[in-house]
Amino acid sequence: MIHKYKLCGYNIVLDINSGAVHVVDELVYDMLDNISPPFEASCSERVANKLSRFYDKEEIITCYEEIRKLHESGTLFSEDDYEKFTEQSADAPLKAMCLIVEQDCNLRCEYCFAEAGKYGFDECAAMDFKVGKKAIDFLIKNSKERKNLEIDFFGGEPLMNFEVVKKITEYARSKGKRAGKIIRFTLTTNGILLDDEKINFINKEMSNVVLSLDGRKETNDRVRKRLDGTGCYDKAISEFKTLADRRGHENYYIRGTFTKYNLDFTSDVYHLYEQGFDQISIEPVIGKPDMPCAVSDRDLPRIFSEYEILAKRILADKKRGKGFNFFHFMLDLDQGPCAIKRLRGCGAGSEYVAVTPDGGIYPCHQFAGFPEYKMGSVLDGEMDKALKKTFAGSHIYSKSDCVDCWAKFYCSGGCNANNYIFNGDIRMPHRFSCLIQKKRLECAIMMKAALADEV
């Protein structure tokens, strides 16, 4: 399978199964509309005649030869022979856990997927240390031979339960050390409760931190509001600057959402950059159509063009030796994850689970509160093996829309929770997210092509 597209003056051809990225001239681009394997020794007269109206005959011959050689070398029209690997890692041990340490939140963001922390439960709850300990014990026990483990403190707002975050971290460090594990912690925060003590703790203990802010003050404060209705921009940005400065601007993301109110989100990305942040992620609101700020199919042309504007601007900066990392344009074409990892992506419900304050185990934080997806409880240490198997079996070859999709090895089938929430089936990709994902990938790959052009 190949995927070809034109963007910013580049003709790009992806060979999906080898991972090859080719930048080609117009002739190759057009010829690929007319030929496919098996290849004869020379270009057919029919194709040569057709193309000769626009291109030189000698060029057509050499072009065909180049395409044929690429095919022979396995970097064009290469075979998809990965399905046999789907069983590998199907029974993988647990390696990552999201701890919803505090369901409640001190903000009421208009687009909150967790319903202001309720997550489908009747009330918000906070995790106590006893449950946290059980969760860590469960992770370490079920991680078997895995050495690198991840724990993510999530909410609601996790800093509303800071004392428990501290205790769980200390316990996990000590228990992990005894078990020979390397544990990396992450915390996601809206910044409202940050102070010196918390910033120092986060920068000492968290290998990554996700800072939630949507960009410009007017963008942010329109949808990210405190309980009294006032915006949170001023407090959050000031604390985030301190936090990022003190960790040397390493291993953090400032992460925002764009909604239909700010489809010009390049300005929000650049606002964050101008405030001194260089690790930035801004992405579309994911919400049902009845959510007032939701983006819809109608907005896609505008969103696509905005991604192009952003890509061009970042590229121009990079060429001047400036710029920042925009999370969704980051791509490693050579040292990225192996094909096995790419078959099923996040590993939710299989290698990764979320734990709620009552000790409930769910495939990930997005499934928390869905009774049909409760996998067990850390309190008795039991987990539903059938559900684990269902999630391990959710890979790009079991998702019919993914099998023939060019982006499958980049996105790995998308977010199972999104698929379930929008389509009622973890194996039925959420089309809107797919379209946005593909556009971002096309931009990211174009940027690689443009930077390679510089060399």
Partner 1 sequence: MKHVKTINEANLKETAETGGCGKCQASCQSACKTSCTVANQKCESKVQENQKLKSPA
Q: Do residues 79 and 134 lie in contact, with contact meaning Cβ atoms separated by under 8 Å?
A: no
Nearest 5°: CA angle at 155, between 149 and 158? 80
Q: Which stretch binds partner 1 (CB under 8 A): 39-47, 173-181, 279-287, 293-301?
A: 279-287
The answer to whether 151 contacts partner 1 (rule: CB under 8 A) is no
Q: Which stretch binds partner 1 (CB under 8 A): 1-9, 39-47, 364-372, 397-405?
A: 364-372
Which helix (DSSP H) or strand (DSSP E) does residue 189 occupy? Answer: strand 182-189
Which residues, 6 or more positions from 99, have their beta carbon under 8 angstroms from its beta carbon?
Answer: 127, 132, 135, 151, 152, 153, 154, 168, 354, 355
The answer to whether 366 contacts partner 1 (rule: CB under 8 A) is yes
- Which listed residue (7, 15, 103, 156) binds partner 1 by CB under 8 A? 15
The answer to whether 336 contacts partner 1 (rule: CB under 8 A) is yes
The answer to whether 363 contacts partner 1 (rule: CB under 8 A) is no
- Which listed residue (410, 420, 422, 432) binds partner 1 by CB under 8 A? 410
- Which listed residue (126, 192, 402, 415) binds partner 1 by CB under 8 A? 415
Cβ burial of 195 (10 Å; 0-12, 13-18, 19+) is exposed
Total number of residues that touch partner 1 (CB under 8 A): 88
The answer to whether 291 contacts partner 1 (rule: CB under 8 A) is no
Phi, psi of 314 (to 5 degrees): -65, -40
The answer to whether 281 contacts partner 1 (rule: CB under 8 A) is yes
**Residue 26 C-beta: closest distance to partner 1, Å:** 9
The answer to whether 401 contacts partner 1 (rule: CB under 8 A) is no
Q: Do residues 9 and 45 lie in contact, with contact meaning Cβ atoms separated by under 8 Å?
A: no
**Residue 255 C-beta: closest distance to partner 1, Å:** 5
Site residues for partner 1, 199-238, by CB under 8 A, read 210
- Which listed residue (17, 189, 259, 390) binds partner 1 by CB under 8 A? 17
As a whole number of angstroms, the distance between CA 450 and CA 66 comes to: 22
Q: Which stretch binds partner 1 (CB under 8 A): 58-66, 222-230, 313-321, 378-386?
A: 58-66
**Which is closer to partner 1, CB of 361 or CB of 364?**
364
Q: Do residues 413 and 402 lie in contact, with contact meaning Cβ atoms separated by under 8 Å?
A: yes
Binding to partner 1 by CB under 8 A, coded x per residue (else -) over 66-105, reads xx-xx---xx--x--xx--x--xx--xx-xx---------
Q: Which stretch binds partner 1 (CB under 8 A): 194-202, 222-230, 281-289, 306-314?
A: 281-289
The answer to whether 414 contacts partner 1 (rule: CB under 8 A) is yes
Task: Identify whether 38 is preceded by a cis peptide bond (ω within 30 of 0).
Answer: yes
Q: Based on C-alpha coordinates, what's the Rg of the chain?
A: 24
Which residues, 6 or more positions from 79, have their beta carbon under 8 angstroms from its beta carbon?
Answer: 17
As a whole number of angstroms, the distance between CA 396 and CA 394 comes to: 7
The answer to whether 63 contacts partner 1 (rule: CB under 8 A) is yes
- Which listed residue (39, 102, 126, 152) binds partner 1 by CB under 8 A? 152
Q: What is the DSSP letter of 40?
A: P
Q: Two tokens at 34?
A: 């007319």
Q: Which stretch binds partner 1 (CB under 8 A): 160-168, 339-347, 370-378, 383-391?
A: 339-347
As a whole number of angstroms, the distance between CA 200 and CA 194 comes to: 10
Site residues for partner 1, 156-185, by CB under 8 A, read 184
- Which listed residue (45, 320, 335, 424) binds partner 1 by CB under 8 A? 335
The answer to whether 244 contacts partner 1 (rule: CB under 8 A) is no
The answer to whether 323 contacts partner 1 (rule: CB under 8 A) is no
- Which listed residue (30, 150, 306, 442) binds partner 1 by CB under 8 A? 150
Q: Do residues 104 and 115 lie in contact, with contact meaning Cβ atoms separated by under 8 Å?
A: no
**Which is closer to partner 1, CB of 311 or CB of 417?**
417
The answer to whether 351 contacts partner 1 (rule: CB under 8 A) is yes
Q: What is the DSSP letter of 93?
A: P
Cβ burial of 412 (10 Å; 0-12, 13-18, 19+) is buried
Q: Two tokens at 266?
A: 């390049």
**Residue 160 C-beta: closest distance to partner 1, Å:** 17
Q: Two tokens at 161?
A: 């339960």
The answer to whether 388 contacts partner 1 (rule: CB under 8 A) is no
As a whole number of angstroms, the distance between CA 385 and CA 280 comes to: 37
**Residue 420 C-beta: closest distance to partner 1, Å:** 11
Residue with the two structure tokens 């400036």: 322
